[in-house]
Structure formats: C-alpha cells, structure tokens
Structure 1
C-alpha cells in the first residue's frame, strides 16, 4: 500500500505554511519596506541550500469529520543551510503571524533550533523580527489564564555563546525576549529606520509618561552607539552581507580552527608612507584605520562596533591569509584614551577572539584611562579593570605594535605582561606612568615655585626630560624588545600570524563569554 495520500497531505500543509500570515498581512509587511522571513532566509543563505525543520508546525483547523480546513503556521521558521559553502543553522521570525510573538509551538522550535546549533557544532543565524516571548496581554483572555515568566532553554542560548558563532540581525521591532535574543550574540546588526529594539515598546513606555516613536525609543541610532548592538546597515541586504562576512573569519565551532584563505597579497609588501604616518607633534591626530588597511591583507579588514567605544577600533582581518582579531587605538576620540564604553568594547572583543582562537594584533596608542568628573561618574576604572582581566585571562597569541603612546594603567593593558607576547615599537613610541605634560608640574612643584621665573623653569625641566624619553633609551635596557621601521610592520605581523597558527588550540575557552 502506497503512502502517496499522506505525502499529498504533507504538501498541502507545507503550502498552507508558506502563506505565512496571509495575503493582507504579508502585503502590509512588504509595504513597510521589509522582506518576508522566507525571502530573508533565501537571501542570507547560499541559493537552494535551505533545509527546513518544522515545516508544518502550526495551529490547524479541522471540520467535523476531522479534515484539515486551514492552518496558521508557527511564526518561527527554522532549519539548516549554507553560507559561503559552510553549513549553518538559521532561525527566522515571521512578523506576519501575530507580530512574531510566541505562538503555535514556537517555544519548542526555539529551544530545538538552539540545541541544533550547539549539538551539531554549527554557527547560528537569528533573523529577529518580533517579541518572541509570551505574546500580548490579549493572551490572558484567549488562554483564560496568565503565567509565571520563564525562558525555557535560555541556558542553551548562553551555552551556545561558548561553542558556536552566533549572529543576530534585528530586522524589525524587537522587544522583550526578541531583544534579548539579539543581545545574546557575538555579532548583531540593526537596519537603519526599519529596526528597533526595546525592553518594552512605546505603548508600554507611554504608561510611564514618556511619549516616543519607535525610533526615538529604540532605533539603531541609539543602540549602535551604546553598545547594545554592534553595527547598523542601510538595508536588509547589507545586514545579510555583513553577517556572511563576519562568519567567514570564524570556525564553525570552538572545536575547529579558523581557516586560512589565499588572498594574493605579498606578506613582504611595504608601504613607504608609513614612515610619516605618526606626526612628530604628539597633539596631532592621524588615521589609524588607514594604517590598519596598510598592514593587513588588502581589503580584508572588517570593522565591528564602529559607532560605540570609539577610542578603540575592533574588527577582523587577514595576515597572509590567516584570520586575526584587530585591536587598535583611535586618536580622533579622546586621543585614544579608554573610556568606560571603550573598556567594555575591549573586554567583549577579547572574549570573542579567545573563544574562537583568533590571534590578536594590537596597534597601540593609549594615553591612559579617560580622566575627569565624567569618567569618575561612569566608573571608568571598574570597567577598565574588567577589560584588563579579560586580557590577562586570554591565552591566544598576541602581538602588540606600539605606534605612539602607552601610558598609565590602561597603557599597561596593551598586552598581558605575565606571559610571552611579541611586541614591537615604532620610533614614535612614547611611554611612561604619566605624560610629561600632565605630570611635570606635580613632580617638580617645589622647584618650580622656588624659581624666580616659574615659566622658564618649567620649560627648562621639560626640555631636560624630553632628552631622556627617547625610545632607544628604553630599548637599551630591554624594556622594549625591538624598535622597528614602520614600513616593516606588515612583514612582522604576517610572520606573527604564521608562528601563531600552530599554537592555536581548539575547545571551549577557559573562561566563558560574557554577553
């Protein structure tokens, strides 16, 4: 006896599921400038690679004889596919079905897809567009009860952060558990204007007296600048491309190593302009991103979190094809000083590199922690110490290039001095416990005050000290290992990447990721 009848019923159910929330709601969704969840999955995955899991999950309607009449599909679509030829797990919210809120077995699907990624050691992509929690207060009436809040399976969500790359794209209004799913990731992106993220949306907030639009309350302008979300995209397609590129630098899981690829860029390439990159006047700024682009493989730098913690630059790149984590200072913001936000950014990024076995290259120009009343109010030292702890706990290979300033406690965190690291300095290197300009008056206070011409005495002392601050005097005592020609930096970094490759170790990190 054939089972063709059941297969035909399966096809009917799958066809009903692909109607999503129905023509009217799908049209409204498209008119808002957003793609449907199935279009999103098709665009982010390699063509034709999606294998759906739970294709007929939903609430079915039957007639008196038990025949299927209609079906409201679950508003979470899950399955496996490929990105750049590599397997991934994907979970996409369907906003056209009850606004992406919990419905029709979605809780079980949500737990299952998280377990799938963790158990199969595959990257997870979340396409978030809804609350993903218990639905609206209307469920009290429809269900005839309420419930005690719980997030079943949340331990798996957190455990996955220590095992597999997790990418979350906020593609609409995300709130509650939906917002939490965005935040609980290694890399997150919002789409400008069409994405928002809240603990609770405008109607709930209005009850507290704040009347705000969705973007005023939780738009990408807010969350890409406070660190809740890493990056902002101009379109959904750009968000998909950023997600694909992020994953290209990482292994499928912590049980494998990041892959080397052929970039065709000569590791011995020299950029002559680097000899002039750092101004002799320490008060002048320069473009650190241009230096990064000059020393890594051409076109390989992928910046992460550009709009927050802006005195620190973070991202991925390749050195002679080897993927590395890039940490650098940006003198255009607080002269490169570490703010509370910058310290949090360092901590999170170092954890990411440690988790997925990426060697770190650090281009250093740190005048210290930010000082002043605002810095103290923001508990900068507390955040800074947490970042220092992350660097101290990291065991991945590390190479520091001191391009200019390295001062104070924050400067001391340019690497973990308790273990072996590669370290070089450019001739522009400038270091100490305090910059001369900031500490001279305090250190020589009595001598200056006793002088007949305090201004002249101050200038005399500063000139005397400046003659002693040459980086060569530090190198004489082997307190800096090597001073190098800036034009040789790429070759040295490529050598570092090659030496670091066999030192990388697979497995769960010795400390867990802090999302």
Structure 2
C-alpha cells in the first residue's frame, strides 16, 4: 500500500485551483488588458522561484459518496519567491473568483501571508485587485446575521510597517479594505487605465452622496496621481512590477539588516563641470533639479517616489558608490521649492521610511521656507511643517546637507538638526537668513522707506549695502557654515561621507524608536 492515490488527488485539486475562476471569467478578466493573479506573480518574481502555500484552499462540493464534484479556489493566492535573488512573501487577489471580495476568500490566507512576512522578517508584496472587505450584502441571507467589522490581520499589517518592507500594487478596481491594504505600505503603485482606488465604489457613492461618477472619475489616476493615496503611477502592470523590484533593491529585507550595497561602476571621483554653473546667478531663476541629481549620484540609480504629490519637495532613492541613500531635494518650479502642507507630509513620511530601514539621507537644500498666504494658512501648513521638521530631528540615521542656494526661516532651519554634528557643505550660491534680504529690507526699514522722499532710491541703497553682507563667505568667516565647496567636488565628498555613514549603521539595527505609519 502506498499514498499514491492521495498524491493524485492532491495534484488534481491543485490543477483545479490553477483554473482560478474558470475559462470564461479568466478570458473576461484578460479582455480588460489585465494579467491573471498567477501571471502577475510570475512576472514579479525571479523565474521559477514561486513556492505556493495553501494552493488547494477553497470551497469544494461533494456527492453523496463524498467524492469531490466541484471546486472553487479561494480568491487569494500566497507564497514565497525571490525578487533580485532575495526572498519575499507575495499575496495576490484573484478577481476571477467573486471579484476579489472577501466572501470568496479564506481570511486565514491573508493572515498567514502577513504572519509569514512578520515572523520570517522578509518583505511582503500585496497584489491587490478587489475589495477584500465584507463582500456582498447578499451574504447576510446565508449567514442570518450581521457582524461588527474587523480588519483581518491588521495587527500584523501595522507591525509589519515597523519591521519589513511592505509594497502594494493597485491592479484593478480596489475599494474598502482592499484600498486600505494598498495605503498601508511603504511603497504603492497603481496602473494607468486599469486601476481605480476608492473608499467606496460608484454605486455606494451615488446612493450615499448623490454623486454619479464612473470608476475612473471617482478613483482613477487623474484623481490619485496627486492625491497622496499612492506613491507612483505605472504605464502597465509590467512597469508596476519593475518599479516594485527597483524599490526593494534599495532596502534591506528587514530592520535587522543593512541596506544592500551594489557593485559600483561609477567613478567616485567624478567631477561634473556642469555643476559650477548649474545654479543660476539670478536668485529668482529656477533650475531643473532632476537634471542635477545624475551629476552627483551613481549613474542610473535614481528612483523617485511621489513625484506629483507635494511637488515642491523631491523624494527619491539613489546610490553613492553602490550604497543606497535617501535623497531630499527641492523643485524650484513648484512653489519655489517651499514647504506646503502636502510637501511637508511627503517629507515627513520619507524621512521616517529612511529612518525605519537605516538609509543615510542626503539633503540637497534650496529651501525658501514654508509657503505663505491665506490658502497655506487654511491648510494648517505650520503644523504639517513642524511635523516634517520633527521627523528630521528625530531621525538617527546619518544625514548630510548640501546647501545649494536658499536656507530661510523655520522651514529652512528644519532641513537638518543643527544641534548635533551638523555635517554640511555650502555651494558659493548659498543664500540664507531669517528672511530673504529683498523682503526683509521692506519689513525692517518700513518706516524709513515710508518717510523717504525717494523710497525707491533708498531701497536700492539698502539692498546694495546688504548684498556684500549676505555673501556666504562672510558667514564662513564667523564659522556660521563649516565649509564652502566647489560644487564639482560634491560627488567625491559624498562618496567619502557614505562610507563613514555605513560604518555607523550597524549600531542602529533593529526597530526604530518610533514606529512608522503609512
């Protein structure tokens, strides 16, 4: 006697599970330009590395003799595999079975996926395509009662944010708990044309709010490209998976490990001539920050997050001599690079992300301060800005500041913790103070200007006198700034700094002293 019959039944059940919702539903799903959940997993992971767990979980029907006559697999597939040769947990919704809703699921599988990542201390990737919540109200007919909502595995979801990289892809019409699973991540991405994200879908919104909207109008990329609910937009599912692989390449597998250092091919001594004239002499002229970044960091190593939310602040990963770092930079074309309510939230979250996973931070500073005016006040920008500054001060990871141009006001002062070892280098284009001289003169000399017979001439005299005083060399004389450097020396100095930074990181391994939230 052997167990061969049982193994045959196991293989038969696995074969049924691989059919997902059946040929008709699979074809309909693919007709919308979407991959099936199994195709998604294969596209994301290194070839041949997926090991599935709970493949035959689902709902079976049996005849009077106890023989299996029909089988509907659970609409959540999970397992482990490798991304860039490193092990991850992956869990994906199968929209071909009950539209990814919870009444087609077995909640234990989602819980197990989160537990697997939590206890094995490895990243988790959620491929979300459904509601993931309570399912249709029709289920009340069969259950005979309602229930007090509980978010499955949410204790693990919250805890994982403090322990391992969490990534989520919105790959369809995602609502309710499904949308929450997307947002509860360190990096999230949605796909053009085929992804929508909302708290509740159009029928519920029409009934509850009287707003008659399509899925795209309510939660498409034109809504969430700049809402802050997700980080990035992908042109296709394959692009989304490429972004996920890139994101994970900068992070350790858990907070107990160091970020992975790649083999460096770029010259650490590279001095880019463009840097000497990159910052315009005219202080009012902007420049294209994304053209500057490759001049400093390793070639082809820039990965930006959240470009269209809080656009005055650029947040990205990069490498210096192969070492991953977080980068904060201004975009002078958006609000002059000043801190808005949105960019403050973005800065705070990114600094906390770097702190959680021990990435040193390079802060490229051209900060005019918090954006002023009535609309800014109505958004409570001062509180959001103070939270961002607090994140900078609470961060223990090594941080270096490159002052490219402006450092003004509370916002400028908060770009680094000036009360510790404040490693910073200033370019000759540096310009700083409590207020820009141009605006400060009007305030400080208001009475004199009002009393003057020729206020314009007096103003020009004052500005001319202040021009020499505002020179960064005057500040350096008083050791108010530690070093003024040739901008072309920035990369060599940073490549030396990053080695010292990584020597310090082993002392910081483990969970951060304040846990990260989405």
- TM superposition score normalised by structure 2: 0.98
Corresponding pairs, count: 515
Deviations 1:353-376 (A, max 9, x none): 000000000100010100001000
Matched residue of 2:103: which SS?
A: coil
Gaps of 5+ in 1: none
Q: Does structure 1 retain, via aligned residues, the 8 Å contact 2:234–2:240?
A: yes
CA shift digits 1:282-325 (9 cap, x unpaired): 11011111111110001101111111110000111100011100
Tell me the residue number matched to 1:169: 169
- Structure 2 partner of 1:4: 4
What are the residue-to-residue correspondences of 1:264-283 with 2, within 5 Å? 264-283=265-284
1:17 aligns with 2:20: no
Give the 3-state SS of the residue equivalent to 1:396 in structure 2: coil
Q: Look up the match of 1:251.
A: 252
Corresponding residue of 2:515: 512
The whole-number CA distance in structure 1 between the counterparts of 2:89 and 2:484 is: 47
Displacement of 1:335 in angstroms is 0.7
Q: SS at the partner of 1:226?
A: coil
Deviation at 1:345, TM superposition (A): 0.3
Deviation at 1:104, TM superposition (A): 5.2
Equivalent residue number for residue 97 of structure 1: 97
How much does 1:185 deviate?
A: 0.1
| Alignment correspondent of 1:407 | 408
SS of the aligned residue for 2:333 comes to coil
Q: Which residue of 1 aligns with 2:228?
A: 227
Aligned mates of 1:23, 1:146 — CA distance in 2: 34
1:4, distance to aligned residue in structure 2 (A): 0.6
- What's the CA shift string for 1:19-43, capped at 9, x where partnerless? 1111111111000110000000000
How far apart, in 1, do the equivalents of 2:456 and 2:338 lie? Answer: 28
1:392 aligns with 2:393: yes
Deviations 1:170-218 (A, max 9, x none): 0001100000000000000000111010000000001121000101101
CA root-mean-square deviation: 0.9
Cα deviations by residue, 1:51-94 (Å, 9 ceiling, x for unpaired) = 00000000010001100111110000000000011100000000
Aligned to 1:52: 52
SS state of the match for residue 194, structure 2? coil
Residue aligning to 1:160? 160
Question: Match of 1:261?
Answer: 262
Q: State whether residues 98 and 104 of structure 2, in contact with CA within 8 Å, keep that contact through their aligned partners in structure 1.
A: no
* Matches of 2:104 and 2:475, distance apart in 1: 68
Q: Which residue of 1 aligns with 2:293?
A: 292
Q: TM-score, normalised by structure 1?
A: 0.99
| Matched-pair contact (CA < 8 Å) for 2:261–2:324 | yes
Partner of 2:201: 201
- What residue is the counterpart of 1:123 in the other structure? 123
Query: For residues 109 and 438 of structure 1, what CA distance do their matches in structure 2 show?
Result: 60
Q: Is the 8 A contact 1:397 1:421 kept in 2?
A: no
- 1:383 aligns with 384
Specify the alignment match of 1:486 in structure 2: 487
User: CA–CA distance in 1 between the matches of 2:16 and 2:78?
Assistant: 16
Please tell me whether residue 144 in structure 1 is matched to residue 144 in structure 2.
yes
- Tell me, yes or no, if the aligned pair for 2:168 and 2:188 is still in contact at 8 Å: yes
| Superposition map of 1:294-309 within 5 A | 294-309=295-310
Looking at structure 1, the residues matched to 77 and 476 of structure 2 have their Cα atoms a distance apart, in angstroms, of 60
Match of 1:339 in 2: 340
How far is the alpha carbon of 1:414 from its aligned partner?
A: 1.3
Matches of 1:373 and 1:473 in 2, distance apart? Answer: 35
Structure 2 residue matching 1:345: 3-state secondary structure: helix
CA displacement at 1:143 relative to structure 2: 2.5
Structure 1 position 35 matched with structure 2 position 35: yes
1:307-356 deviations in Å (ceiling 9; x for gaps) = 11100001111000111001101101011100000000000000000000
State the partner residue of 2:109: 109
- 1:216 is aligned to 217
Residues in 2 aligned to 1:437 and 1:375: alpha-carbon distance in whole angstroms: 22
Structure 2 residue matching 1:225: 3-state secondary structure: coil
CA contact (8 A) 1:369 1:380 kept: yes
In 2: Cα distance, 1:172 partner to 1:270 partner: 46
Q: Aligned residue for 1:66?
A: 66
Q: Which ranges in structure 2 are unaligned for 5 or more consecutive residues?
A: none
CA distance in 2, matches of 1:388, 1:514: 17
Q: Is the 8 A contact 2:103 2:136 kept in 1?
A: no
